[in-house]
Amino acid sequence: MTLTFQDDMRTLFGTNPETAVIVMESMGVDAVGLNCSTGPDKMHEVVQRMLRVSSIPLVVKPNAGLPKLEDGKTTYDMDAEEFAKEMFPLAQMGATILGGCCGTTPLHIQKMIQNLENEKAVLPEKKQIRALTNERNFLEIDLDGTFSIVGERINPTGKKNLQEELRQKKMDLVIDMAEEQVAKGAKILDVNMGTNGIDEKEMMLMAVNELTLAVDVPLCIDSSYVDIVEEALRIYPGRALINSISLEPEKIKHLIPAAKKYGAMFILLPLSDKGLPENLEEKKEIIHTILTEAKKYGLSEKDIVVDGLVATIGANKKAAIEVLETIRYCKEELGVATICGLSNISFGLPERQFVNTAFLTMAIAQGLTMAIANPSQTLLTNAALATDLLLNKANADLNYINGVNKAEISTGDNANRQSSEEDGHPLYLAVVKGKDGQALALAKEEIEKGEKPGQIIDSYLIPAINHVGELFEKGTYFLPQLIASAEAMEKAIDYLEPYLAKERGDQKLDTIVMATVKGDIHDIGKNLVVLMLKNYGYDVIDLGKDVDNQLVIDTAIKENAAIIGLSALMTTTMTEMKEVVDLAKAQGVKAKIIIGGAVVTESYAEEIGADGYSKDAREAVKLVNKLLGR
């Protein structure tokens, strides 16, 4: 499995090199690596980052440098000798399967083989990395590392407002809870959609999709139904944590194979179909039985997190001691991570927070890896930070200082908040956060209050999408968030359009014709440009992909277009752009022509006589506004 990385060392959807390796390796691929996008001289850091976490062979297939057009033909700037020379250090680093992508020839490969014939392959060492991921980043789980909180709040039990929202198929509260928990320090989010009167599977899948965009932490899939867990794992773009697998026949039969198939870690709950274990030895026996079953499917200790199974000390005075021994045993004798839910320990007691906090500090000292808890309970979270500090864990000093400061800020005066985003208008925030349903509802509210549609767009929607563009440029947002925000804005614009038409009267919108050129079937980038331009008030005619050159010209003439936008992803199809430019000039088309796409450059735009080039959707909007004097 190979992936293409951009200049920021992330894929188009924002996945970093380590996350890509962790996810692919957990799903059982035999080799992982990178291909295309650049020459071997630009791949060193990505290769190093992949090798840090990879236990399987690393594949490297670079281009022969960068593409350029000479006399209408695509060439690459790295000859076979230079290519072979630049591949040598990659092999020395530990890349073991080497090849070539765009621009390489049999001679490039032959020279590379000759250059490496005396080099012995450096096979990757077996790494003992435990990690969960979301789509973009990973969380390493170190048995001796800092403690992590699994946020527990996304669970409708006892939350009437959340139950009602889920019945209406809304996700606003779920997203708010997720963002708040992450802001308070949760490293993983437990997601449970179990309540009466809803389709739990539908809402779980909706939550997984929405949370993947909204927050940058891994998810813990929490359901009593194996089919819901399996379906959620199937769509989750990362390595999730299953909550949980006990010694019940149905879960052993279905969820352990699902964990292997989808590359998930799972919480081992030491329960059987007979109920709670009667003593510590029985608990250990169940742990061993489930571990043995997991190993039959190729899973190992680093894929498992054991639940300490906390009982209340009101019913069993040895409950805390038994959990602490379970934690110690799992860490020191089995080499397995551990987790527990805290609140059971104090059930039925007064001032429960003190019991919970004391128990947490004792558990962390015994080696507890993570706990399911509410990160808004600052007594608990600060105690955890302090315990890590006293145990001299890596980075615990900085974590303590930053974490305690964060807790103080969160309980302080709102007047001290610095974030203009958080203090923004609800409609602005809905677009920034990609909440399309909320954006539509809030646009309706503004109209009902008597606001003019143009003012709504200028005051809230345009500033919001501009801010999203800035976040995208900074690498804070990636393509999925950009698309979600653009779609949220589109929902609001679509609603406002009839009111805008009345406000404009006879004033005609500028028309833009967009197309992916003949022979090219890639249209993700072009589709995003179309969406963004529509949101900025342009009348966009999208001709789709693999569009005949003359059709582009005919449409521009028929619709009296002000702009023609052309996209190409491949060097073999970008030459069609010149054909369109030449046809436009020959037939007297007045529309200005702009171009873009992964292989296109500003110098190529100048070379073929186009009126402009943009590297992405945000730049395309700026370029069109400039060309049309807006």
> 586-620: per-residue pLDDT in tens?
999 999 999 999 889 999 999 999 999 998 888 99
Work out the average pLDDT over 459-474. 89
What are the tens digits of pLDDT across the range 250-305? 999 999 999 999 999 999 999 998 888 988 899 999 999 999 999 999 999 999 99
Cβ atoms of 141 and 148 within 8 Å: the answer is: yes
**Is omega for the bond preceding 244 within 30 degrees of 0, making it cis?**
yes
Q: What is the mean pLDDT of residues 581-589?
A: 96
Determine the Cα–Cα distance for residues 139 and 133; give it in Å rounded to an integer: 6
The percentage of residues in the chain with a pLDDT greater than 90, rounded to a whole number, is 76
Task: Please give the pLDDT value at position 375.
Answer: 94
What integer pLDDT is reported at residue 97 of this predicted model? 97
Chain region(s) in the chain for CATH 1.10.1240.10: 420-507
SS3 540: strand
Crossing angle (nearest 10°) for helices 617-627 and 524-535? 50
For strand 337-341 and strand 370-373, is the pairing parallel, antiparallel, or unpaired?
parallel
Instruction: Return residue ranges of the chain for CATH 3.20.20.330.
Output: 2-116
pLDDT the model gives residue 419: 40
Residues 6+ apart with CB under 8 A from 86: 39, 40, 41, 62, 78
Q: What is the pLDDT of residue 506?
A: 62
Q: Taking residues 87-113, what's their average pLDDT?
A: 96
Contacts of 533 (CB under 8 A, 6+ apart): 512, 514, 540, 565, 620, 621, 624
Could you tell me the fold of the domain covering 129-239? TIM Barrel (3.20.20)
507 — pLDDT class (breaks 50, 70, 90): low
Mean pLDDT for 531-554 is 93
**pLDDT at position 406, please?**
57
pLDDT band at 412; cut points 50, 70, 90: very low
Q: What is the pLDDT of residue 422?
A: 44
Rounded to whole angstroms, how far apart are CA atoms 191 and 214? 14
Tokens 């947002």 identify what position? Answer: 477
Higher pLDDT, 570 or 419: 570
CA pair distance 576, 168, nearest whole angstrom: 49
Superfamily of domain 509-630: Cobalamin-binding domain (3.40.50.280)
Q: Under CATH, what is the fold of the domain 420-507?
A: 1.10.1240
Does residue 583 carry a pLDDT above 70?
Answer: yes
Instruction: Write phi, then psi, for 351 (nearest 5 degrees).
Output: 45, 55
Tokens of 496: 């406002």
**What is the average pLDDT value for the chain, to the nearest integer?**
92
| Cα(309)–Cα(417) distance, integer angstroms | 40
pLDDT band at 414 (very low <50, low <70, confident <90, very high): very low
* pTM of the complete model: 0.83
- What are φ and ψ of residue 54, in 5° steps? -85, 135
pLDDT in the model for residue 390: 96
For residue 406, is it left (φ>0), alpha (ψ between -120 and 50) or beta?
alpha
Q: Could you give the residue range(s) of every CATH 3.20.20.20 domain in the chain?
A: 129-239
Cross-strand partners of 35? 61
**Helix (H), strand (E), coil (C) string for 106-153:** HHHHHHHHHHHCCCCCCCCCCCCCCEEECCCCEEECCCCCCCEEEEEE
DSSP 433: T
> For residue 535, what pLDDT band results from cuts at 50, 70 and 90?
confident
Res. 491: pLDDT tops 80: yes
| pLDDT recorded at residue 278 | 84
Kindly tell me if the per-residue pLDDT of 94 is higher than 50: yes
**pLDDT at residue 550 tops 90:** yes
Say if residues 377 and 355 touch (Cβ distance below 8 Å).
Answer: no
Residue 20: strand, helix, or coil: helix
CATH 3.30.1510.10 fits domain 2-116: no
Whether residue 333 has pLDDT greater than 80:
yes
